[in-house]
Chains A and B, each alone.
Chain A
Amino acid sequence: MYLLTSSVGRKQLMAVTGLLLVGFITVHLLGNLSIFAGSEAINIYAEKLKSLGPVVWIFRLVMLVLFLVHITFGIQLTLENSAASPETYAIKQRTKTTFAAESMIYTGLIILAFLFYHLLHFTFHLVQTDAVDAVHTLVNGRPDVFSMVAKSFNSAFVSIVYIISMAALFLHLSHGLQSLVQTFGFNNGTSQDKVIGIGKLVAIFYGLAYIAIPLAFLFHIVKI
């Protein structure tokens, strides 16, 4: 297929999958923030999700494809680009690019590692079993997702894992969001500085909102 071998084609695929992944983290964040609306709210939300049955599985399959495409091309892109620039300068002066832009592959791989950890943790309940076992208790007839999350984040180690991963997500988005706009061709020469600024603000919003959840439990702002 032509798109898969073309430089700009793959760039478009990275951007489309990146955008859809941003869509995912938006919906996921909105759901997660229900934890601040009390224990009942997130338990109801979690039960609703589970009850969707096959829809959940279709959704998971789509997510798997998105991640596979994004990661495969992300790695290929990085390898090709380092092969294209084998020698470095004795003195290197970079004036435009950012730490976030230069570390996309690393922040991406941190997100990937986190994804595995997160699934083992809250989906398969295989790590930190003393805390996640709470989910097997029913509260008002529903699995107690709230206590599972709350107890998990009382551990400083687990909270730090989540916080570092979400910091990586912030960095990934702070380059990725404006990059996406450029890749789709929206840049008339004067709009770009604004897009870069807004992209960073939105990335900060996602980062802070996600990090707020473990922080709130770690510092007992939200109590069990």
Chain B
Amino acid sequence: MNLTLHVWRQKGPKAKGKLETYQATNVSEDESFLEMLDEVNEELIKAGKDPIAFDHDCREGICGMCSQVINGKPHGGQERTTVCQLHMRSFADGDEIFIEPWRAKAFPVQKDLIADRSTLETIMQAGGFTSCHTGGVPDGNALLVPKPVADYAMDAAECIGCGACVAGCPNSSAMLYTSAKVAQLAVLPQGKGEAKARVKSMTDALLDEGFGNCTNHYECQDACPKGINVKFIAKLNREYIKSLV
């Protein structure tokens, strides 16, 4: 199939960017979205032009590096799908595709489609440590975690920290990301001890890093390639209320 791409090009962090139009020709429907871009880049390189810069790493949907807003939706809007797992069969011959970087004050664009998402790490670091044993390895069965609790924590831990929740949020809030981390640690024995301090320091860091406040639009849940549910934000709210008393 042949496609028309409108891609955000920006030379550097301070430069003014704009959408440029490219043709992607002979695209196979079995290619991933990133492979399609690789081919466009090969043509650009052959023509002596600057290839489109974009983030990627694992290309199997687990690292959270690929970060593109495709036709107005982070990761293209296919349910539980990262850009690297998005396949060209979900597009049709002749389609026009808009490709933009994550946009938020807390995610400054570095070049083309690459935004600096290290502010998410700052929130994570603000969460601090969890108390644990030092010395000998404890017996694996000594610390019992009921199955529903383990499942709940795993659901929250599915977050790959890609930042799609921020990119999709009308307020550019990182509350879904933060809530997944807060919820996961709040229900496990290893994280309970510091739960009160953690929910405060992480949500404070969220504001300090320039993210917006959550006003319950729920766009984040739809944008999340891992299907993280906004019930974790409700959990964060409960943890916050608990931390006050």
- Residues in chain A within 8 A of chain B (CB atoms): 2-3, 6-12, 77, 80-81, 83-97, 101-102, 104, 175, 178-179, 182-189, 192
Closest 6 CB pairs of A and B: A93-B72, A84-B212, A185-B238, A187-B234, A81-B171, A91-B72
Contact B104 A85 (CB under 8 A): yes
Cα distance, A183 to B218, chains bound together (Å): 12
**Hey, what's the 0/1 contact readout for B63-87 against A, CB within 8 Å counting as 1?**
0000001011100010000000000
B215 contacts A by Cβ under 8 Å: yes
Contact A80 B240 (CB under 8 A): no
B203 contacts A by Cβ under 8 Å: yes
Contact A84 B210 (CB under 8 A): yes
Which residues of chain B are within 8 angstroms of A81 by Cβ–Cβ distance?
Answer: 170-173, 212-213, 215
Which of A83, A88, A104 interacts with B103 by CB under 8 Å?
Answer: A88
Contact A96 B237 (CB under 8 A): no
Contact A189 B215 (CB under 8 A): no
Contact A8 B216 (CB under 8 A): no
Which of A8, A95, A188 interacts with B231 by CB under 8 Å?
Answer: A188
Closest to A74 in B: B215
Q: A90-B19, A90-B100 are in contact. Are A8 and B71 (CB under 8 A)?
A: no
B177 contacts A by Cβ under 8 Å: no
Give 11 pairs: A residue, B residue, CB < 8 Å, sorted on A: A8-B237, A9-B240, A84-B104, A90-B6, A93-B71, A93-B77, A96-B217, A97-B217, A178-B216, A182-B230, A187-B231
Which residues of chain B are within 8 angstroms of A187 by Cβ–Cβ distance?
Answer: 230-231, 233-234
Which of B105, B200, B206, B216 interacts with A183 by CB under 8 Å?
Answer: B216
Closest to B19 in A: A90
Cα distance, A88 to B241, chains bound together (Å): 33
Closest to A181 in B: B234
Contact A95 B100 (CB under 8 A): no
Which of A10, A77, A91 interacts with B71 by CB under 8 Å?
Answer: A91
Cα distance, A187 to B237, chains bound together (Å): 10
Closest to A77 in B: B213
B222 contacts A by Cβ under 8 Å: yes
Contact A85 B172 (CB under 8 A): yes
Closest to A98 in B: B217
Cα distance, A189 to B217, chains bound together (Å): 15
Which of A7, A10, A97, A188 interacts with B219 by CB under 8 Å?
Answer: A97
Contact A182 B98 (CB under 8 A): no
B37 contacts A by Cβ under 8 Å: no
Contact B170 A94 (CB under 8 A): yes
Contact B234 A96 (CB under 8 A): no
Beyond contacts A8-B214, A85-B104, A93-B71: 18 other A-B pairs, Cβ-Cβ < 8 A, are A6-B207, A7-B203, A7-B204, A7-B206, A10-B213, A11-B215, A81-B171, A84-B172, A84-B211, A84-B212, A85-B172, A89-B69, A94-B170, A179-B216, A182-B216, A183-B216, A185-B237, A187-B231
